[in-house]
Amino acid sequence: MSFDSLGLNADILRAITEQKYSAPTPIQKKAIPEVLAGRDLMASAQTGTGKTAGFTLPLLQLLSENQSLIKGRRPVRALILTPTRELAAQIGDNVKNYSRIP
């Protein structure tokens, strides 16, 4: 299975390639389709297995499909809760890397 087969758009696929990811990890293979389908998900995997990409990539995909803007306002479109500042910073960095526009 490749990232191409998971239903992510070309910009996200380009960002994945830039991050040197070649194929989705097991947690990503299972999580990405579930999130894209709008289902709730609870998953557990060891550190370094790609959990952050498993939920942020489909989240970015869904946000890119629904870009409703309110004049002069930047509404909250997603909320990611983490137990520590360090993890929040790491997730923030990953989201920035995955959502860079060429």
Question: How many CB atoms are closer than 10 A to CB 64?
Answer: 14
Per the structure, the complete domain to which residue 37 belongs is given by 3-99
- pTM, two decimals, is 0.85
What's the angle, vertex CA 79, arms to CA 75 and CA 84, rounded to 5?
135
- What is the CATH classification number for the domain harbouring 61? 3.40.50.300
Tell me, what's the pLDDT at 100? 73
Work out how many domains the chain is built from and give that number: 1
- How many Cα atoms sit within 13 Å of 38 on the Cβ side? 1
Tell me, what's the pLDDT at 102? 55
- Is the CB of residue 36 less than 8 Å from the CB of residue 62? yes
- Is the CB of residue 4 less than 8 Å from the CB of residue 13? yes
Per-residue pLDDT of the chain (102 residues; tens, 9 = 90+): 889 899 899 999 999 999 899 899 999 999 999 999 999 989 899 998 999 999 999 999 998 887 666 666 667 778 899 999 999 999 999 999 988 755
